[in-house]
Chain A
Amino acid sequence: MGEIVKMPQLGETVTEGTILRWLVAVGDEVKEDDPILEISTDKVDTEVPSPFSGKVTSLLVEEGETVEVGVGLMELGGDDSTKEEGAKVVEEVIEVELPKEDLTSNIESSKADIVTKAPKDLKLSPIVRKLAGDNNLDLTQVTGTGKNNRITRKDIEVLLKSEPIPSVPEKNPQEENHVSSENDKQKVTSTGSIPRLRKRIAENMILSKQTSAHVMTSVEVDYENISVLRNKIKGEFKKKEGFSLTFLPFISVATINALREFPVVNSSFDLENNTHDLHDFINLGIAVDLNREGLLVGTIKDSDSFNLRGLARKITEVSSILRNKEYGLEDVTGSTFTISNNGSFNSFITSPIINQPNVAILSTESIKKKPVVIESADGSDSIAIRNTGVLSLTWDHRVFDGSTALLFLNSIKDKLENHPWADDLN
């Protein structure tokens, strides 16, 4: 019996990983630290280096499989007889894909996002696939009574008559109803699989909503001073820095300073374990849109150590490495507070979902010229045109209350409207 390489834990919150691609095959000689496979977690895709040297004697999991941390992936230096018995099946939700090609184990299927949990030589006949698809059946729950434990049509029929029916979550409500016996095209509509990133985002969003007690509150901010300043220096700034100065750095600085005043908004809250961590570091998370394919939060560690210019640079840098997929684990984890810049997409007001384990998320909205009432020193009112925009905070009511939320929010507003920003740029 040789050495077993196990699924590593890549991130504190990571509990499982998906095997994307084997980089070695049975029989290959591997040295310590050679990359042996690519895995994907909900945080990041990465290569796994081999902890041992030796000859690969057995690959225990297949491409496309998702396994828990700690599960054996590969054996080095074992005797050649240990084949694929070690394939660990995980009690995870199974997606039964109904593609046109055979579902028998096929190394090429790594390209598809099919996750099948059945043994390697499973043969699903056309009628079985169709019935399983029509009824959203979880085929891991089916014991085949056919040759070599093949799942037969009868097995499916027996299953359909039994209670409860083990099914998968409805993932394609558009599936056609089949009028039987017509000799035209009546097959199951096989759905596209969900890309990994989307899946991660989906899971995280649901989890966040189930964790925090989301409440949204907002203020209106007068950005006129900042706007004037921006217009004055933007040309020179762009020339010097190579990127444009937006409102986001200003808002970020103001937020960071407000977080100093209200540390509870910068904390992490674990109801289950009865812990509330107040962090003395402020890692600002910036939500970055990845060309409408997904959303990632890039982390600026110790963001309170940067001035306006520095933070502007950092924000640009983070957006860039996220968009170019050059990020590592540390680039997308560890934030203590997140800003979501919806204004750049012309929002009026937004209530984003809290980026766990944060306790709040700030949404910047669009900044536009609007008529505002100005009260002059003599008490008379006049109308002025000023750049204004909403600033909304979605926060976790488990952790603090509206008073805190609004005080914090108004602190940001105050800084944005009244801080001498010109000083920060000199």
Chain B
Amino acid sequence: MEIKKIERLGHSASLSKDELWDIYKSMKTQRILEDRLLKMYKGGQLSGAVYPGIGQEASMAGIGTGMKPQDVFGGTHRDLGVQINRGVTLKEIALNFYGKKDGPSKGRDGNSHFGVVDKGTLMVVSPLPDSAPVAVGVALTAQIEDNDVVAVANCGEGATATGTWHESINMAGVHNLPIIFTVQNNQFAYSSPNETEFGTPNVADRGLGYGIESVIIDGNNIYEVINAMHKARNKASSGKGPTLIELVTFRHYGHAGHDPAEYVGDEVRDFWMDRDPVLRFEESLSREELFTEEDFIQLAEKIETEVRETLEWAKDQEDPDPKEEIQDIFETRSIPVATNDGSKTKTMNVIEAITNGLDEAMENNKDVFMMGEDIGAFEGAFKATKGLHEKYGSSRVLDTPISEGAFMGAAVGAALYGKIPIVELQFFDFVYPALDQITTEAAKYFWKAGKPVPMVVRGPTGAGTRSGPFHSISPESLLAHHPGIKVVAPANPYDAKGLLIASINDPNPVMFLEHKKLYRKPDLKMEVPIGLYEVEIGKANIVKDGSDVTLVAWSGMVPTALEAAETINNDGISVEVIDLRSIFPIDEETILKSVEKTSNLVILQEDVPFSSIASEISSFVADKGFWTLDNPIVKVTSPNTHIPFAPVLEDSFIPSVENVIKAIKELQ
């Protein structure tokens, strides 16, 4: 092996001896730790997996060194080196590898899948590079706050093939965010070489496509990395926007502990072994006579011992308690509930109530801001943000590119760092591209990393406007099924504003479903209090008292339910109508109490029946209210198919007043 020398030039020339030693220590610790972990894994002493970044120490330590303490790093499972450099301890790492209770993810995710948000490393997840949109959100917050925080979105070259990476870097370029995109190009994404992942020779070539400056550097030259990062950080923090740094490097081992990496040719391997980043750094430091061989050996021994001892120690630490597993899904509220004496009111329809709620929320708390497509000057596709951009400006009513994945993840990032983002989906049907960020990041942050994500996602739902299958969905069961998300669906102006304020004040992700047919329904105007007030999440409302049949409905179906109840009253059947208001958490108590009174339950929903909210209600009433039932539980829903366009088809699809009356009459 013939070590290829490196020269300390540029900014790295100004580093002190102590600083250099810290950097070296960080790299050496990574190498020794990962070596040990890999050996343990192969020896069957570790469960799960290891993803050694051995060989990429210079890239990792260099990225870390180029960041200031307040900066935020969003990386991958391979970036233990960066975590170490940023102050994550061996103990924290070891505890997570053993899945221990006191580890950074409390045993809920293993090996290197963790972050220590307080130390500026974002939670590591498996779908990569899912932390990139979150980092974008951090950068967005930094831009709004102007607080000299720079975000780093790091991944491997393979991950740049994803839509997530593309949307993130694109959005960063559009908004000129204080962010650095580092790509550690270690030549192979698992077994796939570069040419299977992108069509340009280098990752850096793509910067042009995003309007972003990009550089390509020797990722195994610690000085080059430090210099490139230094420059990029300065640029970002001075408002000059993002940089794409491609760090060309090589991993000595396979993708994961079990992978022998036979796809790497010998020639390639030899080339890179000559450029071992740790050895190169040692050679340079010795050549400058800053440190000796003895220093290196002593440090190595010290680190070895520390690594072994820490792993031994971690193994014996307390395991998490399975009984506590159901906790930590939702953060509890600390903000006091907004109340209002209701003395001052205004007649509003649903959309007006929502606009009013958004306005008052933003006025009350400067950290509340909005993101979405066409919500700024255009005031939104449904005019929900009417007058808001004019009043609050672009930093608080932000137009995003058509990148639901990126801006949803950005909302998570902003929520983690002190903001309360309200995301508008132009149609809730567009939630699908955002589901990855919602489920992977938003729904899991509090559970996996102990950090709450206070954000609201609002948008129009529902059929009846001849908008076809892609603009008419009822998404509540899709969303409610995933733990970690709250779902609400108001059906009138008063509830719309009250639930919106409650959702904004809730420290957890809330999906706020607005049925588009209710927005401007002529007979659906109410006196809505001026000033903040809340409708409690998780509480249903009995909108009509009755004694013979309980009819549960929500959102767009509530008027249908009320009309059916009115009509059938003439036949002497008294129907109690419950407006669910909250889908998750659901008000079981109110429903059960009503069914106890009436002994009959009809559930009306616009959504398709299979695996739906109506099915869930049927289930818990059949369980907990079994002995109160006089008839089987009835579901009145649309057919289990897609929402059609043709008026005659759509009208037949949506449950009607007649359908409800028929169902009720058949009970006897």
Q: Which of A125, A147, A188 interacts with B629 by CB under 8 Å?
A: A125
Q: How far is the CA of A183 from the CA of B625 in the complex (A)?
A: 7
Q: Determine if B596 is an interface residue (Cβ-Cβ < 8 Å).
A: yes
Q: Determine if B631 is an interface residue (Cβ-Cβ < 8 Å).
A: yes
Q: Determine if A344 is an interface residue (Cβ-Cβ < 8 Å).
A: no
Q: Which of A126, A146, A150, A152 interacts with B627 by CB under 8 Å?
A: A126
**Given A152-B668, A183-B592, are A128 and B630 neighbors across the interface (CB < 8 Å)?**
yes
| B608-632 vs A, Cβ < 8 Å mask (1 yes, 0 no) | 0000000000000000111111110
Q: Are B668 and A126 in contact, CB atoms less than 8 angstroms apart? A: no
Q: How far is the CA of A187 from the CA of B629 in the complex (A)?
A: 13
Q: Determine if B599 is an interface residue (Cβ-Cβ < 8 Å).
A: yes
Q: Determine if A181 is an interface residue (Cβ-Cβ < 8 Å).
A: yes
Q: Which of B593, B624, B630 interacts with A127 by CB under 8 Å?
A: B630
Q: Are A146 and B668 in contact, CB atoms less than 8 angstroms apart? A: yes
Q: Determine if A153 is an interface residue (Cβ-Cβ < 8 Å).
A: yes
Residues of chain A within 8 A (CB-CB) of B596 are: 180-181
Q: Which of A125, A128, A150 has the most CB of B within 10 A?
A: A125
Q: Are B630 and A147 in contact, CB atoms less than 8 angstroms apart? A: no
Q: Determine if A130 is an interface residue (Cβ-Cβ < 8 Å).
A: yes
Residues of chain A within 8 A (CB-CB) of B626 are: 126
Q: Are A181 and B630 in contact, CB atoms less than 8 angstroms apart? A: no
Q: Are A130 and B627 in contact, CB atoms less than 8 angstroms apart? A: yes
Q: Determine if A186 is an interface residue (Cβ-Cβ < 8 Å).
A: yes
Residues of chain B within 8 A (CB-CB) of A127 are: 599, 627-630
**Given A127-B599, A147-B668, A152-B668, are A181 and B592 neighbors across the interface (CB < 8 Å)?**
yes
Residues of chain B within 8 A (CB-CB) of A130 are: 627
Q: How far is the CA of A111 from the CA of B492 in the complex (A)?
A: 57
Q: Are A183 and B624 in contact, CB atoms less than 8 angstroms apart? A: yes
Tell me how far the C-beta of B540 lies from the nearest C-beta in chain A, rounded to whole angstroms: 15
Taking CB as reference atom, which chain B residue is nearest A188? B627
Q: How far is the CA of A130 from the CA of B630 in the complex (A)?
A: 10
Q: Which of A129, A130, A181 has the most CB of B within 10 A?
A: A181
Q: Are A181 and B629 in contact, CB atoms less than 8 angstroms apart? A: no
Q: How far is the CA of A150 from the CA of B630 in the complex (A)?
A: 10
Q: Are A126 and B624 in contact, CB atoms less than 8 angstroms apart? A: no
Residues of chain B within 8 A (CB-CB) of A153 are: 599, 630
Residues of chain B within 8 A (CB-CB) of A152 are: 630, 668
| A127-145 vs B, Cβ < 8 Å mask (1 yes, 0 no) | 1111000000000000000
Q: How far is the CA of A147 from the CA of B627 in the complex (A)?
A: 20
Residues of chain A within 8 A (CB-CB) of B628 are: 126-127, 180-181
Tell me how far the C-beta of B601 lies from the nearest C-beta in chain A, rounded to whole angstroms: 12
Residues of chain A within 8 A (CB-CB) of B625 are: 183
Q: Are A125 and B630 in contact, CB atoms less than 8 angstroms apart? A: yes
Q: Which of B588, B593, B629 interacts with A126 by CB under 8 Å?
A: B629
Residues of chain A within 8 A (CB-CB) of B624 are: 183
- List residues of B (614-663) whose CB comes within 8 Å of A's CBs: 624-631
Tell me how far the C-beta of B586 lies from the nearest C-beta in chain A, rounded to whole angstroms: 14
Residues of chain B within 8 A (CB-CB) of A181 are: 592-593, 596, 628
Taking CB as reference atom, which chain A residue is nearest B594? A181
| A118-129 vs B, Cβ < 8 Å mask (1 yes, 0 no) | 000000011111
Q: How far is the CA of A311 from the CA of B628 in the complex (A)?
A: 63
**A-B residue pair count with CB separations less than 8 angstroms:** 37
Q: Which interface class (under 10, 10 to 19, 20 to 34, 35 or more) fits B? A: 10 to 19
Q: How far is the CA of A55 from the CA of B471 in the complex (A)?
A: 68
Tell me how far the C-beta of B576 lies from the nearest C-beta in chain A, rounded to whole angstroms: 15
**Given A147-B668, A152-B668, A181-B593, are A186 and B627 neighbors across the interface (CB < 8 Å)?**
yes
Q: How far is the CA of A82 from the CA of B629 in the complex (A)?
A: 36
Q: How far is the CA of A187 from the CA of B592 in the complex (A)?
A: 16
**Given A147-B668, A153-B599, are A125 and B631 neighbors across the interface (CB < 8 Å)?**
yes
Residues of chain A within 8 A (CB-CB) of B631 are: 125
Tell me how far the C-beta of A150 lies from the nearest C-beta in chain B, rounded to whole angstroms: 8
Residues of chain A within 8 A (CB-CB) of B599 are: 125, 127, 153
Taking CB as reference atom, which chain A residue is nearest B548? A154
Q: How far is the CA of A130 from the CA of B627 in the complex (A)?
A: 7
Q: How far is the CA of A187 from the CA of B593 in the complex (A)?
A: 16
- List residues of A (161-210) whose CB comes within 8 Å of B's CBs: 180-181, 183, 186-188
Residues of chain B within 8 A (CB-CB) of A129 are: 627
Tell me how far the C-beta of A33 lies from the nearest C-beta in chain B, rounded to whole angstroms: 49
Q: How far is the CA of A127 from the CA of B597 in the complex (A)?
A: 11
Tell me how far the C-beta of B632 lies from the nearest C-beta in chain A, rounded to whole angstroms: 9
Q: How far is the CA of A130 from the CA of B628 in the complex (A)?
A: 8
Taking CB as reference atom, which chain A residue is nearest B629? A126
Residues of chain A within 8 A (CB-CB) of B629 are: 125-127
Residues of chain B within 8 A (CB-CB) of A150 are: 668
Tell me how far the C-beta of A102 lies from the nearest C-beta in chain B, rounded to whole angstroms: 12
Tell me how far the C-beta of A297 lies from the nearest C-beta in chain B, rounded to whole angstroms: 45
Q: Which of A146, A147, A153 has the most CB of B within 10 A?
A: A153
Q: Are B627 and A187 in contact, CB atoms less than 8 angstroms apart? A: yes
Taking CB as reference atom, which chain B residue is nearest A183? B624
Taking CB as reference atom, which chain A residue is nearest B597? A181
Q: How far is the CA of A129 from the CA of B625 in the complex (A)?
A: 14
| B138-152 vs A, Cβ < 8 Å mask (1 yes, 0 no) | 000000000000000
Q: How far is the CA of A127 from the CA of B592 in the complex (A)?
A: 14
Taking CB as reference atom, which chain B residue is nearest A181? B596
Tell me how far the C-beta of A27 lies from the nearest C-beta in chain B, rounded to whole angstroms: 34
Tell me how far the C-beta of B591 lies from the nearest C-beta in chain A, rounded to whole angstroms: 11
Taking CB as reference atom, which chain A residue is nearest B622? A126
Q: How far is the CA of A187 from the CA of B599 in the complex (A)?
A: 15
Residues of chain A within 8 A (CB-CB) of B630 are: 125-128, 152-153
Residues of chain B within 8 A (CB-CB) of A128 are: 630
Residues of chain A within 8 A (CB-CB) of B668 are: 146-147, 150, 152
- List residues of B (565-616) whose CB comes within 8 Å of A's CBs: 588, 592-593, 596, 599
Q: How far is the CA of A152 from the CA of B573 in the complex (A)?
A: 15
Tell me how far the C-beta of B592 lies from the nearest C-beta in chain A, rounded to whole angstroms: 6
Tell me how far the C-beta of A304 lies from the nearest C-beta in chain B, rounded to whole angstroms: 63
Tell me how far the C-beta of A394 lies from the nearest C-beta in chain B, rounded to whole angstroms: 48
Tell me how far the C-beta of A415 lies from the nearest C-beta in chain B, rounded to whole angstroms: 66
Q: How far is the CA of A200 from the CA of B485 in the complex (A)?
A: 64
- List residues of B (494-552) whose CB comes within 8 Å of A's CBs: none
Taking CB as reference atom, which chain A residue is nearest B631? A125
Tell me how far the C-beta of B593 lies from the nearest C-beta in chain A, rounded to whole angstroms: 6
Taking CB as reference atom, which chain A residue is nearest B628? A127
- List residues of A (326-359) whose CB comes within 8 Å of B's CBs: none
Tell me how far the C-beta of B602 lies from the nearest C-beta in chain A, rounded to whole angstroms: 15
Tell me how far the C-beta of A131 lies from the nearest C-beta in chain B, rounded to whole angstroms: 10
Taking CB as reference atom, which chain B residue is nearest A145? B668
Q: How far is the CA of A130 from the CA of B596 in the complex (A)?
A: 12
Q: How far is the CA of A180 from the CA of B629 in the complex (A)?
A: 13
Q: How far is the CA of A343 from the CA of B628 in the complex (A)?
A: 54
Q: How far is the CA of A146 from the CA of B626 in the complex (A)?
A: 19
Tell me how far the C-beta of A138 lies from the nearest C-beta in chain B, rounded to whole angstroms: 20
Q: How far is the CA of A326 from the CA of B628 in the complex (A)?
A: 49
Q: How far is the CA of A215 from the CA of B303 in the complex (A)?
A: 102
Tell me how far the C-beta of B244 lies from the nearest C-beta in chain A, rounded to whole angstroms: 57
Tell me how far the C-beta of B124 lies from the nearest C-beta in chain A, rounded to whole angstroms: 41
| A70-89 vs B, Cβ < 8 Å mask (1 yes, 0 no) | 00000000000000000000
Tell me how far the C-beta of B177 lies from the nearest C-beta in chain A, rounded to whole angstroms: 51
Q: How far is the CA of A126 from the CA of B595 in the complex (A)?
A: 13
Residues of chain B within 8 A (CB-CB) of A186 are: 627
- List residues of B (321-372) whose CB comes within 8 Å of A's CBs: none
19 CB < 8 A contacts A-B: A125-B599, A125-B629, A125-B631, A126-B626, A126-B628, A126-B629, A126-B630, A127-B628, A128-B630, A146-B668, A152-B630, A153-B599, A180-B628, A181-B592, A181-B593, A183-B592, A186-B627, A187-B627, A188-B627
10 closest Cβ pairs, A-B complex: A183-B624, A153-B630, A125-B630, A126-B627, A181-B596, A127-B630, A153-B599, A130-B627, A127-B599, A146-B668
Extra 8 A-B pairs, beta carbons < 8 Å, given A126-B629, A127-B630, A183-B624: A125-B599, A125-B630, A126-B627, A150-B668, A152-B630, A153-B630, A180-B596, A181-B593
